[in-house]
Amino acid sequence: MLDEVTDYYLNKEKANVESVFAVNGFGFAGRGQNTGIAFVSLKDWADRPGEKNKVEAITQRATAAFSQIKDAMVFAFNLPAIVELGTATGFDFELIDQAGLGHEKLTQARNQLFGEVAKYPDLLVGVRPNGLEDTPQFKIDIDQEKSSGAGRVY
């Protein structure tokens, strides 16, 4: 997926992009084999004249292109001027399972909230979860005694 993102910036936005640095397995929401992050360096402002070459326009085009990717959620955004104020513009909203109903119910509540928010696109824009989606994981227990007898060392 990171190859698709990198390819988009280096080919579709080549007039504006200097370079792309992509990292698989890490993102603002955490680490995992199903996450990634890419940092895009734009060419100097003097080399990007006109409204269509400003970061906002580039981000809008990228968002439209990435929305067509069905196998992943890809977000394009510009970092805030003061990085300590967050990883993007806006605010964080956290849901807490105070009743102890469990992960599945919390996820259902989150999805219901997103469904309601989507009804008001003029009030809240770019609402997205800030966490990792549930993915299959394996837990492997190795019997050290048996495996060492088989000539394997772990």
The confidence band for 121, taking pLDDT boundaries of 50, 70 and 90, is confident
Radius of gyration (C-alpha) of the chain in whole angstroms: 21
Are 56 and 18 in a shared domain?
Answer: yes
Are 95 and 66 in a shared domain?
Answer: no
Residue 153: inside a domain: no
The model carries a pTM of 0.56
pLDDT for 35-65, tens place per residue?
888 999 999 999 999 999 999 999 999 999 9
Alpha-carbon distance values, 7 to 11, 19, 22, 55, 65 (Å): 6, 11, 11, 18, 12
Structural domain including 69 reads 1-79
Sequence-separated (6 or more) residues with CB below 8 Å from residue 147: 153, 154
Residue 145: inside a domain: no
Residue 38: inside a domain: yes
Are 75 and 2 in a shared domain?
Answer: yes
Are 72 and 1 in a shared domain?
Answer: yes
Backbone angles phi, psi at 77, to 5 degrees: -155, 160
Cα–Cα–Cα angle for 80, 82, 85, rounded to 5 degrees? 80
